[in-house]
Amino acid sequence: MPSTEDILKAARELGEKISQHDAAKKFQDIVTRLRDDQDAQRLLNDYNRHLQTVSEKEMNQQPIEVEDKARLKELQTKVVTHPVLRDLQIAQMDYVDLMRRVDEAMTGQTPDTPPAPGATPGATPGVMPGQAGL
């Protein structure tokens, strides 16, 4: 029977292998690029703030003005066409896919097998959901 230390050692080794995977490296590289790009950060913050405002109005059953919808669409277009933010979305999807596949391998699931009883479908440990707000 493996000891706790054996399991933790294997976890550290897996973490190291994941960090060396192309998807993880690309994700880390783009996060660094985002950190260095003030315009991309500002655009992402503006988009997230406006999205939150519109969402709150919707939850409170308040009217959403045409200007709010137009501004949200404008910001969304800018986000998806900004080179750094576009690359971030792609890298994030690739990283999440890697982590999903690792999760499936750890739980013994394949895309065709149903989740184990009590398992949370689609839960991926270690993934930073919404980190980029996209």
In tens, the pLDDT along 72-109 reads 999 999 999 999 999 999 999 999 999 999 999 999 88
- Our measurement of the distance from residue 124's CA atom to the centroid of its chain's CA atoms, rounded to an integer in Å, reads 11
pLDDT band at 111 (very low <50, low <70, confident <90, very high): low
Buried b (16+ CB within 10 A) or exposed e, 35-59: eebeebeebbeebbebeeebeeeee
* 114 has pLDDT over 70: no
Q: What is the pLDDT of residues 25-49, one digit of tens each?
A: 999 999 999 999 999 999 999 999 9
* pLDDT at residue 109, as a whole number: 80
Model pTM? 0.70
Beta carbons within 8 Å of 111's beta carbon, 6+ residues apart? 104
Domain range list for the chain:
4-107
- Fold of domain 4-107: YheA-like fold (1.20.1500)
In the predicted structure, residue 131 carries a pLDDT above the cut 50:
no
Q: Which has the higher per-residue pLDDT, 14 or 116?
A: 14
Per-residue pLDDT tens digits for 58-82: 999 999 999 999 999 999 999 999 9
* Phi, psi for 17 (deg, rounded to 5): -65, -40
